[in-house]
Structure 1
Amino acid sequence: MHNSKNSYIHTSAKIYGSTTIGENCTVMENVILGYPQQDILLQVTSQGKQIEDFEFHGCDIGSGSFIRAGTTIFSNVRTGSRFRTGHNAMIREKTVFGDDVLVGTNVIIDGNVSIGNNVSIQGNVYIPTHVTIEDNVFIGPCAVLANDKYPVRGEYHPIGPVIRKGASIGANSTLVPGIEIGEGAMVAAGALVTKDVPAWKLALGCPAKITDLPERLQSLNKI
């Protein structure tokens, strides 16, 4: 593990693998960084080793980041600068973040996810594998994204939603697999989105209907 100058790491934090932590970071109580993904964990256990004694790539935390208590970040995760989490967030392997991203309390990101710059993900959001989130996106609390059209009823080819830059996803909304939320579009709170939302349009209702976005809302999020 390598950590640069002026970083605070609580004594209860667990750091695995070749994890790197940038300058001026804060890592709070019971945080786990670089936890081995499934294939690495199987290698560790099959060889009868302890995780601490096994060499593998951990995670990379950008400078100026603040990781709050109880957060778990798996191996092969890379964050940009000024990354922040709430409490008890879980971020799985092969997730890549840009700069200035917030991952709120109890958020689950299930891995193989790409997230851009200036993104705000509020508490209790669920993000499955194979999702793309571009810059300046806001995702409200308790929103759920899905990546499997027919769970446990057929062959599984995960395709999560794509959320284009500047889009806003309202609280308690649900996005079904494979849809695209266009640039600057908004999804209203509680909406069930079953089809693409064009750029700068509004989706509301259950199932959601597409309507015009009021002119006063036709600007990128200021995150």
Structure 2
Amino acid sequence: MGQNIRIHRSSKIYGTTSIGEGTIVMENVTLGYPEHRVLMEIIKQGIDIEDYDFPGATIGKESFIRAGTTIFSNVKTGDRFKTGHNAMIRENTIIGNSVLVGTNVIIDGNVKIGNNVSIQGNVYIPTHVTIEDSVFIGPCAVLANDKYPVRGEYIADGPILRKGASIGANATLVPGVEIGEGAMVAAGALVTKDVPPWKLAIGCPAKITELPEKLRQLNKI
């Protein structure tokens, strides 16, 4: 554990979790919770989670984890990481520096997130998604990774959000789409195909249009 960290007494730290200096962990936070496979093994052996040796989470320096957040094992965050309340980040997720994961966000594991990313409240991010640097995702946006849920072989194919892309509130991205560098997705849009760099996707289903000149700049996050 780093120096000058504050962990509320109601929070739980599991596995070999590492917390960077200057980090604050608020009430009822869970860090390093075991993934399903490990949890089933713990139950099978009939032992307490605290007595089982498994990887925890790694939280960077000067981070702020708000109440009710759960971060699973094998999650690694960079420095200055922040969450809202009741966020959940599942295993094998890598997060860069200066990232915000808002209230009630679910990141379902095996996700890569770059630096200077802002994910607003109630966003859902499934497995196998890549989010590059300086991306903004507005509240209640939904990303999907399975074209035909429970109707065939499960092949996870999450969206890719390139550097500086912006996703509006309540937008939906179907599996496999790529949002190009600097592109914008309007609020409420249903994106069913790739959005080229520096273009605007608007409507349901979304149509590709020109991005206004005044918006042709990277996000300031």
| TM tier relative to shorter chain | over 0.9
Is 2:45 the counterpart of 1:43? no
4+ residue segments displaced more than 3 Å: none
User: What are the Cα deviations for residues 162-218 of structure 1, in whole angstroms up to 9, with x where unaligned?
Assistant: 000000000000000000000000000000000000000000000000000001000
User: What is the aligned partner in structure 2 of residue 173 from structure 1?
Assistant: 171
Aligned residue for 1:136?
134
Q: Does 1:27 align with 2:25?
A: yes
Distance in 2 separating the partners of 1:36 and 1:58:
8
After TM superposition, give the deviation of residue 103 of structure 1 in Å. Answer: 0.1
Aligned to 1:93: 91
**Overall identity of the aligned pairs, in %:** 76
Equivalent of 1:196 in 194, 204, 215: 194
Aligned to 1:62: 60
Mapped partners of 2:195, 2:2: distance in 1: 43
CA drift at 1:39: 1.0
Give the Cα separation in 1 of the matches to 2:112 and 2:55.
19
Distance 2:2 2:185 in 1: 40
Specify the code of the residue in structure 2 equivalent to 1:60. T
Picking from 8, 13, 16, the partner of 1:15 is 13
What is the alpha-carbon distance in structure 1 between the residues aligned to residue 11 and residue 80 of structure 2?
19
- The CA distance in 1 between the partners of 2:151 and 2:205, in whole Å, is 23
2:123 corresponds in structure 1 to 125
Secondary structure of the residue aligned to 1:43 is: helix
2:152 to 151, 154, 164: 154
Match for residue 103 of structure 1? Answer: 101
TM-score by length of 1: 0.99
Cα deviation, residue 70, structure 1: 0.1
| Residue type at the aligned position of 2:218 | L
By how many angstroms is 1:42 displaced?
1.2
Aligned residue identity for 2:102: G
SS across alignment from 1:52 = helix
**Letter aligned with residue 139 of structure 2:** P
In the alignment, residue 78 of structure 1 is paired with which amino acid? K
CA distance in 2, matches of 1:83, 1:7: 14
Flag structure 1 segments of 5+ consecutive residues without an equivalent.
none
Instruction: Tell me which amino acid in the other structure corresponds to 1:215.
Output: E
Aligned residues: 221
Q: Shift of the alpha carbon at 1:90?
A: 0.3
TM-score normalized by the length of structure 2: 1.00
Q: How far is the alpha carbon of 1:33 from its aligned partner?
A: 0.2
